[in-house]
Chain A
Amino acid sequence: MANTKKYWKGIDELNETKSFQESKESEFSQSNSIESFLADDQLSESSTGRRDFLKFLGFSVAAATVAACEAPVIKAVPYVMKPENVTPGMPTWYASTYYDGASYASILVKTREARPIFIKGNKYKKDGKHFGITKGSVTPSIIASVLGVYDSERLKSPLKGGKKSSWGTVDKEISAAIQNANKVALISNTVISPSTIDAISELRSAVKGDLEHIQYDAISYSAIRKANELNFGKSFIPSYDFSKAKTIIGVNADFLSTWLMPTEFAAQYGETRNPESDSGWMSKHFQFESVMSVTGSNADYRAMTKPSEEEAVLKYILAGLRGMTGTIPSNLKKEADLAIKSLQEHGKESLVVCGTNNTGLQQLVNEINDQTGANKFTIDLYNELFMFQSEDEKMMNFVKGIESGKYDVVLFYNSNPVYSFPKDSLKKALKSKKVKVTVSLNSHSDETGSLCTYNCPDHHALESWADYRPKTSHYAIAQPTIRPLHDTASALESFLVWSGKVERGGKDSTVAYDKIKETFSNLSDADFKMVMHDSCVDLPQPMFEDTISFSKKNLEPMPTIGKGVEVIAYQKSAIGAGIHANNPWLHELPDPITKVTWDNYITMNPVEMRKAGYKTTYDQENGLSMAKVAVDGVSVTLPIYPLPGQAPGTVGIALGYGRGGNGEKIGKSAYQTAEYGGYEVSKNGKPKSIGANVFPMLSTDNNEFYYSNSGTLTKVDGEYIIAATQIHHTVMGRHSIVRETTKEIFDKKGKEAYNPAHTLQTLDDDLNHVEKPVSEFDIWDAHPVENVGHRWGMSIDLSSCIGCSNCLVACQSENNVPVVGKDEVRRGREMHWLRIDRYFASDEEAAVGTKKNKDSFSYDQAEIAALNPKVVHMPMMCQHCNHAPCETVCPVAATTHSNEGLNQMTYNRCIGTRYCSNNCPYKVRRFNWFNYPSYKKFTEINPAQDDLGRMVLNPDVTVRSRGVMEKCSFCVQRIQATKLKSKIDNKKVEDGSFSTACADVCPTNAIVVGDWNDIKSEIRTSSESDRSYQALEEVGIRPNVWYKVKVRNEQNNLLSKLQVEKKSHHGSNNKHH
C-alpha cells in the first residue's frame, strides 16, 4: 500500500478524465511555433489600423509624460532598532549649557530623531528656583548656534599642513613636539571649565619646559578687573543685579545686548520695567552713549556722549553725589543732573556701569557705586564672574614673544587672535614661521587655523561634554545632544592625549565625560546624574564677612583721544565679535536699531551727515555714500549709515565683520554672494568677505584694548546699496499703531488719558450724534471663537520689549524660515515671519506715535527722526485677525480661520496671487518669490540647500516651496502638540503649557501667549489691562494680538499736557451730549 501512494492536483487528474488528458498535452503548446507565427502571411495584412496606432501613440506619449512628471522620491529610512528614549515624531529635550567665550546661558536643546534642532533658554524652575544664573535668557547668537552643528565647512578631520590627516599621526607628532618643547603657549578664550583647566595643567606638567596659558578674549573686560584690583585689592568681576536697581546708569555699556552678561542682565532689567509691577516702582534708566545701542534705545533718558566725554560725565556725577559741582559739556548737563538727582534719591538701589575698557574710568565707576552704596546692594562682590579673564598685556607680550622666537609650540583653543588681535601684528608674526609647531583646536580652518601646522578640530558644543563654572556660586554641565558628526575630538581629550595621560577614544569617547565626572567626584552617581539632568547646580556661596572693601586709589590714566572724529568699534547684538560670522540666520537678523542685515557700516548722526553732504535716505536702488575711516594708518572703506542718536563728532563701526577675506574656509554663508548664486570675488580672487574688519583699528594704549580712537573720515566716491528690512524710520505720529505714555501719567490718570479707545460717530435711538467704541461696529458675523473652545491670543508689552531680537531668530529656527541673502533683503523680500518694527520719534511727535500738534503736523518733517530720538521696538507678526482681510480675498480659500481663532495658511492650496498680502494692514505675509530650498541664488546661504544644513529643519513644519504665501502660524505645531499631550494626560490645556517660539525665548517675558477663552489665563488678564490696545483697531479686523502701551519713566511735559488735555476734551464732549 505504501508504494502506491499517489498525489494529485485535482479530481480530474485522479480520475484521468478525457478533458484532463487533452489539456495536459497542450500545457506547453507547440502547435504554433514562433517561426510559423512570424511566417504567417496574414500577420502582415492584419496591420494595426491608423486609428489604433494613433491611439497607442497618444497613450504612450501621455503615459510617458505623466511618468516623467513624477516628483523625485526621497526615502525616509526608518529605525531598524528603535533607540531607547527616542520616539519618532516626539522631541527629546536636553538641559545643557552654552558657553562660547562671549556669552553664557543655561539652555534647553530640542532634539528630534537625535538631531538638535532648536535651542532656548531654560526657563523652568525647581523648587521655585531657576536652573542656572541666566533664568532662561539667551541671546540671538545662542539660539542660532544650533545651526553651527550642521555647518558643512567645519573641519571634518584633523589636518596637517592643511591636508587631511589622522588623529594617530597628529597626536604622535604634537605630543612629541609639546613634550620636548622648552616653551609652549596656549592661547584660548577664557576657560571656565574646571575639567579643562585641569587638563591644561596636566598638559603643562607634560611639557619639558614651560606652558604659558594666555586667556585672550576678542572683547576685553580687563579694565574692570584691573580697577577692582586697585580699589578692592582683588582682580575680579563682581555680579551685578539690575533687578534691584531703581536708578540705572549706563555709560557706553550695552548691557542688554552685548556688554558682559546680557543673558543675566536683560531679564533683570525686564523685571524693573513693568509699570504694573506689584512693588509699584519702575527703574529709571539713563544712558550716556555714542552709538545708539539696544540698551540706549530703551533708556528713559539718553544723552549723546562722545568717548572723550565719558570721563567728564562720570566725574560730574561723582562730584554731584559728593555735593560738589563739576564741569560737563552743556549738551549732557540736563541728563547728568537728572541722573544725579535720581541717584541721590535711590542711593544704594542704583547701579552705574561703564562699558569702556579703561581702568581709570572703571575706577570712577567703582567710586560712584561706592558713594551710592550700590557696591553692597546691587553689586555682589562675593559672587565673582569667572568669564572674561582676558589678559591684554600678556597677549601683547606674547605677540612680541613670537617675533623673538621665544615659543616652540603654540596652541590655539577657541580663539582666533589672527582675526581679532589689533594691528594685524600676530598674523605677520605667525607667517614668519618663527614658531616650529602651531596647533589650532578651532572648529574651522579660520584666520588662525589656516596659518597653523596642525588643525585638531574640537567638537561642536552640542556634540561634546563640558563643565563650566561661570560664577563662584555656580557649576554647570553641557551634555552632547548628537553623536559627533565628523572625525573631531573634544579639546579636553586632546589636551589629555597630548600630555600622554589617556588614549584617543574615537567617536564614542568617554574621556571628557570621565574627566568631568572626576571633577565632580565628591558627588554620588545619583547626584551627578541629577546635576546632569538639571544641567547645573548652585553652590552654597562662601560667606566672607566684608572681606572686600573699597579703598580709593589714584586714578589710572584716562583714555587719550586725539582731535578728529572719534571712532567707536562697537558690537552688534547678532554678530558680536565675529564668532558666528558664518551663521546665515545671524547675518540676516536685522540689527535691532538700524535694521540692516548682512553688513557692517559706519554709523553717523544724519543731521551731521546732511551737513557733510552724505546721503541719508536709501532703498533698494539708492545706495548710501561711501566713506573712509582711517585710524593710526589703518583704514576701512564702508557705507556710511544715518543713525539717529549717534553722538555728533563720532562714528561707529561694528566689530566682527570682514572675516575670512583670504579665502579661509570659515563657512559657506560667511561671504558675499552674487546676484545669481556663487560668491562675489574680491581683487585677490577669493570670495569677498562681508563688511570690513575694524579690530586692527583698536587702540592698545595703556596696554589695554581700547575700543575708541580718533581718526579721520573722508568721503569716498561711489555708493553702496545697503540691505535693510526697514527703510522708513518713524511712525508718522500714528497713534493707533504705537502708544506711549510716562510713568507719571500712567500712575495718576486713567486709561482714557494714555490709551483711549478709538471711537466712531453714530446715531443713538433719539438720532443724536454719539461716539461709540469701534468694537461696537461690525459688518460681519462675529467669528464663533469667543467663549467657545480655545481662542489663542498673544499680548506684547512694548514697555518690556527691549528689541533684543531673540524672538526673530527663534521663529526662524522653529519655523524653517528661509534665509534669502543680502540681495533679496535689499529688494525688500526677507522672509521673517516675525519682525521687530523699530520706530524713532520725530520732532513732530511728543512721543513715538503722538503728534505734538495735530493741526500743524508736517508729514515731511515727521519722516525725519529727531537728533536723539526716543525709540519704540514693536514686534510684529500675523495678528490672527478674527475678521481677517486676507481671508476674504483669497480666491481659493487657502487662508482660512480656524475655530480656535487662528488665521491658517494652507500652503498646498495656495496659488500665489499675493492678494492676501496686499490686503494685510500689517504687511506680515511673506511670499516665496523663488524656490528657496533649491534655486541657485540661495545655495550658499540657505541651510536648507545643504545636505548637512537641512538637518536643522524642524520636521513638524513644512518647508515651503516656490509661489506660496507664508506667515506666522502662532507655532500651530506647538499648539497641536500641547493639545495632544493634554488629551493623553486627560486634562484641559493648562495655561502656560503652550508657548510659541518667540515667547519661549523672550528674556523679559514681554510676549504672553495662551488661550484667551480661559478667563484665568495670563493672556486674558494681560489683554484686559488698561495698557492693552490693538494695533489699527479702527480697521475693524479684530486681531488676536494685543499690545501694551509703552511706559517711559521720564518727565515729558508735552506728552502729559497732550494726554491730560485730551481727556478733558473728551469729558466736555460727553457732557455736551
Chain B
Amino acid sequence: MQKEAAIREPLILGHKTYHDITEDVCRPIEDKAPKMWYILFGIALIVGLYGVGCILYLLGTGVGVWGLNKTIGWAWDITNFVWWVGIGHAGTLISAVLLLFRQKWRMAINRSAEAMTIFAVFMAGLFPLIHMGRLWVGYWVLPIPNQFGSLWVNFNSPLLWDVFAISTYLSVSLVFWYIGLIPDFATIRDRAKKPVAKKMYTILSFGWSGRAKHWNRFEMVSLVLAGLATPLVFSVHSIVSFDFATSVIPGWHTTIFPPYFVAGAVFSGFAMVQTLLLIMRKAMSLEAYIHTKHVEYMNIVIMVTGSIVGTAYITELFISWYSGVEYEAYAFLNRATGPYWWAYFAMMTCNVISPQLMWFRKLRRSLLFTFFISIVVNIGMWFERYVIIMTSLHRDYLPSSWSMHYPSPIDIGVYIGTIGLFFTFFLLFARFFPVLALNEIKSILKGSGQSYKESPDYHKNH
C-alpha cells in the first residue's frame, strides 16, 4: 500500500470497504436492469438499426446515395471516421499512458474509457469499409498472397498505413481491455447465482483464481500492453492525419497535422469520456468513485489539449499567409470567409474558446458545465474534421471544379446510426460488464480512500 499526501483529495469518497466496492460495481450487473436502461437501449437500438438499414441501402445501390460529387470524394464518411477514431484515443491514453505515469485517478475511469475506445474504433472502422466503392473486394488492402498476378498493396499509400494502424490499434486495445476485465469477471463469476450467468462469466474469466501468481502475471501483462499501447496513442492519429498531410491539396498538405491531430483526438476523447461518465456515475450510483476531482483532472487534460489544438489552428492560418503560396492562402481564407464559414466558426468557437473556460476552477469543477462543454467539444471536433476534409476539397486548385457539398439523408442516417450503435454497445457493456476496474480500485482504497485519509487508523478498525 502506498502512502499518499493527506492534502490530496481522496479518490474514493465515503466510508467504503472492499466489499462495498464489489457490491457497488456488481450491483447493476446482478440486479434487474432499471426501466431507464430499457428505454435508452431501445432508442439506441432503433437508431442503430436505422443506420444499418442506411448502410445496406448504400451497399445495395452505390456510394452515390451519399452527397459526394466529382470534386468532393470524401465528406461525412471520412469526417465520421476521423471523429470516431479521435474519440477512441482517450481510452488508450487513460489506460496506457496514465498507467505508466502511475496516475491512480485513472482507475475510476479506465474501464469505461477503454470500452468507449473499442466501440468508437468499431464505428470508425465501419466508415473506411462502407466508403469503398467495392466493399466486396476490400480485402485487397491486406497484403495477403494472391493469384491475381501477384498483385501487392501500395505501401506508399497512407490509406494502407491506416489499415495497419487501425487494425493494430483495435486489436491491442481489445486485448488490453480484456486482460483488465479478467479478474473482475472472476469476481462476478464467484458471486453469480444464476447458472447461465455463472457459466458465461466462468468462460469469460478464463479460470482466474486470484492466486498471487495470477496477479503477478496480470501486472506484468498490463505493463507490457501499456508499453505497446502508448506509442499507438500517438501513431494512430498521426497516421490518420497522414491521409491528408501527404496529399497535395491545399489545406490538407500541412506538416503540423500529426501532433495537431493527436492533441485533437485526446481532446475529443476526453470530452466523450466526460459525457459518458457524468451520466453513468449518476445512473449507476458511482458518485463515490467518479467525482469532482476526476472530472477536474479530465477537464485539465481537455484544457491543455484544447489549447494545443487552438495553437495549431492559428499556426495553420499564420503559415498559410507566411508561406506566400497562393492556393494555401486561399484555402484558409476560404475556410474562414467562404461558403462554409459557419463550419469554421463552429469549430473555432467550440474548440478554441470553450476549453479556455476551464481556467476557472469553479467552472472546471462544475459537473453540469463540464457536461455541456463535453458536448460542445465533440460538436466542435466533428466540425474540425468536416472543415479540414470538406472545405479543402470543395475549393482546391481549379475553380472550374469548385463545388458545394450537401449531405444526403443517407449521409445523416449512417452517422446517426453509428451513434446509435455506439450507445447500444455501451449500454450492453454497462449492463453486463463491470464498469469500474473493481479489483484495481481496491488497490487504492487504503491509500486514497476518504475514510483512510481522514483517519489514518481507520483501517485498523476495519
Measured CB to CB, the residues of A under 8 A from B are: 619-621, 726-732, 734, 736-737, 824, 827-830, 835, 837-839, 859, 874, 876, 885, 888-893, 909-915, 917-919, 921-923, 925-931, 935, 962-965, 1031-1032, 1035, 1037
> Is B62 in contact with A962, judged by CB distance below 8 angstroms?
yes
Q: A889-B158, A891-B160, A927-B63 are in contact. List 8 more A-B contacts (CB 8 A).
A: A619-B403, A620-B406, A913-B128, A918-B249, A921-B248, A929-B64, A964-B133, A964-B134
Cα–Cα, bound, A859→B336 (Å): 13
Q: Is B154's CB under 8 angstroms from A890's CB?
A: yes
Interface residue stretch chosen among B367-375, B391-399, B451-459? B391-399
Q: Is the CB of A1037 within 8 A of B248?
A: yes
* A residues in contact with B397, CB < 8 Å: 734, 737, 921-923, 1032, 1035
Residue B333 at the A interface, CB < 8 A?
A: yes
Check A829–B69 contact: CB distance below 8 A: yes
Please, which residues of chain A bring their CB within 8 A of the CB of B396? 921, 923
Could you tell me the distance in whole angstroms from the C-beta of A44 to the nearest C-beta in chain B? 37
Q: Do A889 and B63 touch across chains, with their CB atoms under 8 A apart?
A: no
Residue of A nearest to B149 (CB): A909
Residue pair B64, A839 in contact (C-beta under 8 Å): no
Interface centre among A619, A729, A736, A830 (most CB of B within 10 A): A619
Within 8 A of A (CB), among B392-416: 393, 395-404, 406
**Could you say which residues of chain B place their CB within 8 Å of the CB of A912?**
63, 132-134
Question: Shortest distance in angstroms between A142's beta carbon and chain B's nearest beta carbon?
Answer: 26
Which residues of chain B have C-beta atoms less than 8 A from A928's C-beta?
62, 133
Contact across chains for A918 and B74 when beta carbons are under 8 A apart:
yes
Q: Does B246 contact A (CB under 8 A)?
A: yes
Most chain B CB within 10 A, of A827, A910, A926, is at A827
Q: Which residues of chain B are within 8 angstroms of A619 by Cβ–Cβ distance?
A: 403-404
Q: Within 8 Å of chain A (Cβ to Cβ): is B310?
A: no
User: Does B383 belong to the interface (CB within 8 Å)?
Assistant: no
A964 to B401 alpha-carbon distance, docked (Å): 20
Contacting residues of chain B (11-67) with chain A, CB-CB under 8 angstroms: 61-64, 67
Question: When the two chains form their complex, are residues B68 and A911 in contact, meaning their CB atoms are under 8 A apart?
Answer: no
Within B141-172, the residues touching A (CB, 8 Å) are 141, 148, 151-154, 156-160, 163
26 A-B pairs with C-beta separation under 8 A: A619-B403, A621-B406, A727-B404, A729-B399, A731-B399, A731-B400, A734-B327, A828-B72, A839-B399, A859-B333, A859-B334, A892-B141, A893-B151, A912-B133, A913-B159, A918-B393, A919-B249, A921-B248, A921-B249, A922-B398, A923-B70, A923-B396, A929-B64, A931-B62, A1032-B397, A1035-B248
Is there contact, CB below 8 Å, between B61 and A935? yes
Residues of B within 8 A of A909 (CB): 140, 148, 151
Interface residues of B in 290-345 (CB under 8 A from A): 326-327, 330, 333-334
A893 with B153, Cβ < 8 A, contacts A839-B400, A926-B70 known: yes
Binding site for A on B (CB under 8 A): 61-64, 67-74, 128, 131-135, 137-138, 140-141, 148, 151-154, 156-160, 163, 243, 246-249, 326-327, 330, 333-334, 393, 395-404, 406
Q: A residues within 8 A CB of B400?
A: 726, 728, 731, 835, 837-839, 874, 876
Are B70 and A829 touching (Cβ within 8 A)?
Answer: yes
Whether B403 lies near A919 (C-beta < 8 A) is no
Which residues of A sit under 8 angstroms from B151, Cβ to Cβ?
892-893, 909
| Neighbouring A residues of B160 by C-beta, 8 Å | 891
Chain A contact residues: helix, strand, loop or mixed: loop
A828 partner residues in chain B, CB cutoff 8 A? 69-72, 403
Rounded to whole angstroms, the CA-CA distance of A876 and B398 in the bound complex is 10
Indicate which residue in B64, B246, B403 contacts A930 across the interface (CB closer than 8 Å): B64
The 8 closest A-B pairs by CB, nearest first: A912-B133, A963-B133, A929-B64, A828-B69, A914-B73, A837-B400, A923-B401, A963-B134
Asked if B399 and A728 make an inter-chain contact with CB atoms under 8 angstroms apart, the answer reads yes
Give every chain A residue within 8 A of B326 (Cβ-Cβ).
Answer: 734, 736
Whether B133 contacts A962 by the Cβ 8 Å rule is yes
- Smallest Cβ-Cβ distance to A929: which chain B residue: B64
Given A910-B133, A964-B133, A889–B62 Cβ distance below 8 Å? Answer: no
B70 touches A962 (CB 8 A): no
How far, in angstroms, from A830 to B396 measured CA to CA in the complex? 18
- CB-CB under 8 A from A839, the residues of chain B are 399-400
For the complex, give the distance between the alpha carbons of A910 and B400 in Å: 26
Task: Please pick, from A730, A888, A910, A926, the residue contacting B399 in the complex, using a CB distance under 8 A.
Answer: A730
Give bound CA distance, A1031 to B330, whole Å. 18
Inter-chain CB contacts under 8 Å: number: 177
Whether A914 pairs with B133 at a CB distance below 8 angstroms is yes
Minimal Cβ-Cβ distance residue in A for B66: A929
CB contact under 8 A between A891 and B74, given known A737-B398, A885-B247 = no
Give the docked Cα–Cα distance between A433 and B288 (Å).
96
CB distance from B246 to the nearest CB of A (A): 7
From B132, B333, B334, contact of A963 by CB (8 A) = B132
Which of A859, A917, A935 contacts B330 (CB under 8 A)? Answer: A859
Question: Which of B63, B64, B137, B406 gathers most chain A CB within 10 Å?
Answer: B64
**A910-B134, A915-B157, A935-B61 known; A732-B73 Cβ under 8 A:** no
Q: How far, in whole Å, are A731 and B398 apart by their CA atoms in the complex?
A: 7
CA distance A914 to B393 in the complex (A): 12
Residue contact A827 to B399, C-beta cutoff 8 Å: no
A921 cross-chain contacts in B, Cβ below 8 A: 248-249, 396-398
Provide the bound-state CA to CA distance between A726 and B403, in Å: 8
Q: Which chain A positions have C-beta within 8 A of B141?
A: 891-892, 911
A913-B132 CB under 8 A given contacts A889-B247, A891-B157, A892-B154: yes
Bound CA–CA A885/B243 (angstroms) = 12
- Closest Cβ of chain B to A86, distance in Å, is 33
- B62 engages A911 (CB within 8 Å): no
Residues of A within 8 A of B249 (CB): 918-919, 921
On whether the beta carbons of B63 and A963 are closer than 8 Å, the reply is yes
Residues of A near B152 (CB, < 8 A) are 893
Chain A residues within an 8 Å CB radius of B159: 889-891, 913, 915
Closest to B138 in A: A911
Q: How far is the CA of A912 from the CA of B137 in the complex (A)?
A: 10
Q: Is the CB of B157 within 8 A of A927?
A: no
A808–chain B nearest beta-carbon distance, Å: 14
Known contacts A892-B140, A935-B62, A964-B134: A727-B157 contact under CB 8 Å? no
**Distance between A564 CB and nearest chain B CB, rounded to angstroms:** 36
Contacts of B333 in A (CB 8 A): 859
Report chain B residues within 8 Å CB of A926.
70
In the bound complex, CA of A910 to CA of B140 (Å)? 9
Q: Which residues on B sit within 8 Å (CB–CB) of A930?
A: 61-62, 64
Q: Are A890 and B73 in contact (CB under 8 A)?
A: no
In the complex, the answer to whether B247 meets A919 with C-beta atoms within 8 Å is yes
Q: Which residues of B contact A965 (CB under 8 A)?
A: 133
A927 to B393, CA, bound (A): 15
Given known contacts A830-B70, A890-B157, A928-B62, is B402 in contact with A727 (CB within 8 Å)? yes
A909 shortest CB reach to chain B, Å: 7
* Chain A residues in 8 Å Cβ range of B137: 911
Residues of A within 8 A of B157 (CB): 888-891, 915
Residues of B close to A927: CB separation below 8 A: 63, 68, 70, 73, 133
Q: Residues of A contacting B70 with CB < 8 Å?
A: 828-830, 917, 923, 925-927
